[in-house]
Structure formats: C-alpha cells, structure tokens
Amino acid sequence: MPKIKILVADDHALLREGIIAILKLHDDVEVVGEASDGMDAIQKAQKLRPDIVLMDIAMPGLGGLEATVEIKKASPEIKILVLSQYDDREYVSRLIKAGVSGYILKHAVGTDLLSSIRAVARGEFYLYSAIASSVIGDYLSKKGEASVEDPYERLTDREKQVLKLIAEGHSHKEIASMLDISVKTVIAHYANFQEKLDIRTRAGLIKFAFQRGIVK
C-alpha cells in the first residue's frame, strides 16, 4: 500500500521537527518535505506533489489561508489539513470555504494527528471534535425552509445515530467502537444515508445535521 506523502508547513522549526518526528514513527506516512512560510509551501507543494499539506495558519509573509487558496487553485487534488492554535469560528469558516479537508488544534497533535491524516487521505473531512459544534454551526448556517418531503425521515435509527456522530466530528473507527459495530458497517451506513439524503460530502452532511438541529 502506498504511503501517504506529507508536506509540513509551519514557521516554527521546533514544532515542524516535532511533527516530523511523530510522523516518522508510522510506516504508512512519508514526510516528503517541509516549508517555513506560505510561499515556500506553495512552491514545495508544486515540486513535491504531496498527498496532504499540514498547514499552519499564522506564518510570516504569505499566511496559511492564502497559501491554501493558491495550492487548491493549482492542484485541487492536494488536500490541506490545517494545524492551528486558534479556534476562531469566522476564520475556520473561511478555511473550509477555501477547500481545506480538515482542521485540528495544535494542542491535539499528539492524539489526533495520525487519525486526522488517515481520515483526510481516505477522502473524509476531519474536524477536531472539541471545536466541531462551535465552528461548523456558524459556517453551515441554516438557509431557507425545510422541504415538504423530509429526507431525514427515510433514514433508519442506526443511520441517524451514525450521522449524528459524524457531525460531532468522530471518525469511522470511533463510531464503530461507540456503537459496537464494525468499521465496514459504519461505512455502509454512511453510504446509505449519503444516497438517501443526496449529499455526497462529509462537509455537506455536517451542514445538514446542523440545519436540522441534529447537532447543536
């Protein structure tokens, strides 16, 4: 199985080294480069073609948000996972709009870094659970009136449980453990309610959950 190629972009050398040291302990991840600011991240993303850029936000010169926009414009297939010490709602909303695939807080790197990288590599949207409800609720604000035909009522009770846990920021593995079912079963439920709700992205499902008040 090919390794997940990572570019680490952060202006603090010690933090970069710490992140790289953690990643080197895992066989399914390969650090292909590091960058010290936004412009450096853009240039190295184009040269090294990583699967994921671990992107700090507050960097000198060109910041992480601007770098994200440029990288996604040039290479939409490269995923951006934001590492930040801030949980400002408006800023996170702007990053999600810019196309990031995940957002975790730096103090959670020790526990969430690998799970977030693996989730993003699988094409999932990852949001650190402690900021999920406070951030996504504002970004994915309720718009319009509910449809006369409610697609949510087509979901089974188990599918509703899985949807709620996903909206709260839990990974497939965590949900499987919490509900005492297999990861494959979680994925099957996920696929089922994507079809029933006609929502194809994790961000879209989170939006739906907040609009419906499933998660508050």
DSSP string across 15-67: HHHHHHHHHTT-TTEEEEEEESSHHHHHHHHHHH--SEEEEESS-SSS-HHHH
Looking at the structure of the chain, the number of domains it has is: 2
Q: Which range marks the domain in which residue 74 is found? A: 4-139
Q: Is 144 a member of any domain?
A: no
Q: Is the pLDDT of residue 176 over 90?
A: yes
Residue 196 dihedral angles phi and psi, to the nearest 5°: -65, -35
Domain assignment present for 36 = yes
pLDDT value at position 84? 84
Whether 200 maps to a domain, the answer reads yes
Instruction: Please state the pTM of the whole predicted model.
Output: 0.62
- Tell how far CA 39 is from the center of its chain: 22
Final residue in a domain of this structure, among 113, 139, 165 = 139
- Do 91 and 155 fall within a single domain? no
What's the one-letter identity of residue 40? D
Considering the domain architecture, whether residues 158 and 132 belong to the same structural domain is answered as: no
Q: Which of 83-92, 162-171, 195-204 has the lowest mean pLDDT?
A: 83-92
